[in-house]
């Protein structure tokens, strides 16, 4: 039986909207931005700093990782007070919060929650994406900007999420091997996407 | 409204089993190996030759494609009787059969059907995959072989399907951008996978 749903998502795919419908349908908690705020509060970082750090992981940080891959694995045993880079401190604080939230059934959008909870067998790991033109439409609406700006935001977000994800998980963002269900929300709509996620959440794989 | 479901799949993910359940639930036709036989018959190739050609696309053929990319696009306007390589002739004959089958609602497993029907907006494009250990179990059972042989079959099939797909479609096999729904059958089971596909097939995306 599943207890947790993690949702990775492309900007403009409606991940937050779908996640909220799912949580409401199942009567379980929902976390995304709230998580950041909580983390920021607990760690003594400002919410603004946490947000910026997460989506703007510096190239020099990645370079350091690449130069010393054992460092990457070692750092997970560091406490948030050790001399780890600030980005790592934020990640570790988020990890702590996610582990705590996941003690009860919930939906968690983003924040590498799928990776953080990878050892548990009661997690449904979902990735939501959408057709480029639909993502543009949503970004224009969401950020109240023109098409050019929306397109830039999407490219920047894709790069940042992919970079952040691979730096902290060593997995490829949006690649099927680590997800149970991947769904194009523009093909099915938000309500059906939520319905499909709920079906998968309730599924009991037989012995096949 | 959708009329067609195409299913791409990894060996050992249960694509055929799930596809058959879906077609039965929806009361529509189902094609996979039958399609090959039909194509072989229509084209004058033996069924055995078609099967071998499809999954064992030669490296020299790929080399030819790489050396002349315009040739790739041109060849689609060739008739099956022109002096195209045999693999291309088989592909063109399969394409013809798929276009014919897709005049009525149906489920088509494999055969690059998603690409062949890409211009239609009434197609639900699905990709099925599974956890490595589950694929192994199924391959051992399906081919009545030992673990080592099953593992070789899986690796060979992944390489062949990926190569065949990218040679004829110029798309990446199993990469999300061309699928509406991607599902790990070992996470949800075959019956739930079929149920989820039927839900997505019936979904009517709203204006969002």
**A14 touching chain B per CB within 8 A:** yes
Query: A200–B189: do the CB atoms touch at under 8 Å?
Result: no
| The pLDDT of residue A42 | 76
Residues with Cβ within 8 Å of residue B155, at least 6 apart in sequence = none
Distances (CA, A) of A97 to A34, A42, B159: 11, 9, 41
- B204 chain-A contacts, CB cut-off 8 A: 189, 192
Higher pLDDT among residues A58 and A131, named by residue: A131
Query: What whole-number distance in Å separates Cα of residue B25 and Cα of residue B201?
Result: 12
| pLDDT band at residue A92 using 50, 70 and 90 as cut-offs | confident
Neighbours of A78 (CB within 10 A): 13
Measured from the Cβ of residue B99, the count of other Cβ atoms closer than 10 Å reads 13
Q: Name, of A29-38, A140-149, B62-71, B84-93, the range with top average pLDDT.
A: A140-149
DSSP state of A75: G
What pLDDT was estimated at residue B97?
87
Q: Chain B contact for A41, CB < 8 A?
A: no
The mean pLDDT of B65-91, rounded to a whole number, is: 52
Evaluate whether ipTM surpasses 0.95. Answer: no
Residue B139, pLDDT score = 95
In sequence order, the 6+-apart residues with CB closer than 8 A to the CB of A37 are A47
Whether residue A4 contacts residue A124, with contact meaning beta carbons closer than 8 Å, is answered with yes
Question: pLDDT at residue B7 above 90?
Answer: yes
What is the predicted pLDDT for the residue at B128?
Answer: 98
**Does the pLDDT at position A74 exceed 50?**
no
- Residue A61 pLDDT exceeds 90: no
pLDDT at residue B180, as a whole number: 97
Touching A: B residues 133-172, CB under 8 Å? 138
Per-residue pLDDT at B34: 75
- Which CB contacts under 8 angstroms, 24+ apart, belong to B60-69? B61/B85, B61/B87, B61/B167, B62/B163, B62/B167, B65/B167
Q: Which residue has the tokens 């909870």?
A: A117
A117 vs A125: CA distance, rounded Å = 10
Residue-wise pLDDT for B103-150, tens only, equals: 999 999 998 999 999 999 999 999 999 999 999 999 999 999 999 999
Order of strands across the sheet with B181-184? Answer: A29-31, A106-109, A4-9, A123-129, A181-184, B181-184, B123-129, B4-9, B106-109, B29-31
Contact B199/A192, CB-based, under 8 Å? yes
- Measured CA to CA, the distance from residue A29 to residue A108 in angstroms comes to 8
d(CA A14, CA A138): 8
A206 vs A78, which has greater pLDDT?
A206
Cβ–Cβ under 8 Å, residues A150 and A139: yes
**Pairwise CB contact (< 8 Å): A182 & B182:** yes
Q: Could you read off the pLDDT of A128-183 as tens digits, one per residue? A: 999 999 999 999 999 999 999 999 999 999 998 998 888 888 899 999 999 999 99
Residue of A10, A3, A37, A32 lying closest to A19 (CA atoms):
A32
pLDDT of residue B70: 40
What mean pLDDT, rounded, does chain B reach? 84
pLDDT greater at residue B208 or residue A26: A26
Interface contact B204-A189, CB threshold 8 A:
yes
| Direct distance between the N- and C-terminal alpha carbons of chain B, in angstroms, rounded to an integer | 16
**Bigger pLDDT: A135 or B59?**
A135
B-chain residues within 8 Å CB-CB of A192? 199-200, 203-205
What gap in Å lies between CA B32 and CA B15, rounded to an integer? 10
Chain A residues within 8 A of B177 when measuring between CB atoms: 129
């Amino acid at each position: 039986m599943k207890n947790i749903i993690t949702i990775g998502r492309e900007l403009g795919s409606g991940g937050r909207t779908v996640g909220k419908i799912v949580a409401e349908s199942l009567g379980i908690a929902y976390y995304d931005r709230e998580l950041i705020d909580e983390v920021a509060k607990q760690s003594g970082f400002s919410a603004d700093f946490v947000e910026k750090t997460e989506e703007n992981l510096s190239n020099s940080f990645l370079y350091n990782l690449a130069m010393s891959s054992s460092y990457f694995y070692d750092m997970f045993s560091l406490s948030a007070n050790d001399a780890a880079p600030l980005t790592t401190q934020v990640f570790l604080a988020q990890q702590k919060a996610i582990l705590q939230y996941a003690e009860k059934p919930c939906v968690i959008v983003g924040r590498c929650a799928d990776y953080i909870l990878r050892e548990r067998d009661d997690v449904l790991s979902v990735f939501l994406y959408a057709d480029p033109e639909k993502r543009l439409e949503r970004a224009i609406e969401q950020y109240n900007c023109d098409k050019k700006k929306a397109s830039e935001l999407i490219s920047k977000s894709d790069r940042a999420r992919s970079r952040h994800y691979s730096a902290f998980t060593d997995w490829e963002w949006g690649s099927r091997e680590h997800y149970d269900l991947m769904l194009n929300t523009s093909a099915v709509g938000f309500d059906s996407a939520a319905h499909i996620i709920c079906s998968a959440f309730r599924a009991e794989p037989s012995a096949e």
